Amino acid sequence: MEKFIDFLAQNFSAFFDFIFVIASTTIKGLESALLSIPWWVFIIIIFVLGWYFTSIYGGLLFSFFIFLIGTFDLWPETMTTISIVLISVLLSLAIGIPLGILTAFSKVMSAFMRPILDAMQTMPSFVYLIPVIFFFPLGNVPAVIATIIYALPPVIRLTELGIRNVDEEVVESAQSFGSSTMQMLVKVQLPQALPTIMAGINQTTMMALAMAVVGSMVGAQGLGERVLYAINRIDISLGFEAGISIVFLAIIIDRITAGIAERLQRHGRNVA
């Protein structure tokens, strides 16, 4: 493995430099965009999302959580963490959903991916930090790459599970009407599997947020960096504030994504 990592670092340095430039520019751009939003507008956005996907009480609670994070003077760090998590999740979904679809349609691919996914889910998260620091300078980019690797398995597994569990009678009906494989996937299987896929997206998002503190060990900024700083300084108050802020973000993301999944499931039942 060490020789393989050395080979990649020596022969594909230009490729990794290109990824670093693109990723770092995207992270900084998204962070700047979030910081440009006035705090009260951001709180209103969170309230509306919480109200629409959960309840008015959920919206009030979530907006109160965001207000508390601001009172802790951790607003810039929170926006940085959200930027890292959003980019990690979007890239994880861009890779994981197509792989999940492929494994659902191919038994060979499924058998090939299963042990890899098992290893990815059981490998300690700290281990993912070791190879990425060979390819990228310390900072947010290696944290994003490590987060993607760590957060990929749930969305792959649940996408495959959702497609495989689509009612065979529904699939046969689509085939009897002359639907092509792509039409059947887009119009039948994916809509039916959407609640399960949303559960995978929820788990991927939560795992990406869980890497916030771990990523700080390779220079990632944000709330995780403040937790690491508090550990080094044995600063209980800062550690609590940064830690509880991560908990607040986790609650908000979990409830909103769960609400989206529930609405999609209800919509699917109504259509059926």
pLDDT-wise least confident of 19-23, 117-121, 133-137, 253-257: 133-137
Whether 100 has a pLDDT exceeding 60, the answer reads yes
Whether 78 has a pLDDT exceeding 80, the answer reads yes
The pTM (predicted TM-score) of the whole model is 0.86
- State residue 269's pLDDT score: 55
Whether 263 has a pLDDT exceeding 80, the answer reads no
pLDDT tens readout for residues 170-215? 777 777 777 777 878 878 888 888 888 888 888 898 888 888 778 8
- State residue 125's pLDDT score: 76
DSSP readout, 118-139? HHHHHS-GGGGHHHHHHHS-SS
Whether 133 has a pLDDT exceeding 70, the answer reads yes
111-120 own/partner pairs: CB under 8 Å, 24+ apart: 113/156, 117/152, 117/153, 117/156, 117/157, 120/149, 120/150, 120/152, 120/153
193 against 45, higher pLDDT: 45
Whether 157 has a pLDDT exceeding 70, the answer reads yes
All structural domains of the chain, each given as residue ranges with its CATH number in brackets, are 2-36+72-271 (1.10.3720.10)
- State residue 222's pLDDT score: 87
Whether 58 has a pLDDT exceeding 60, the answer reads yes
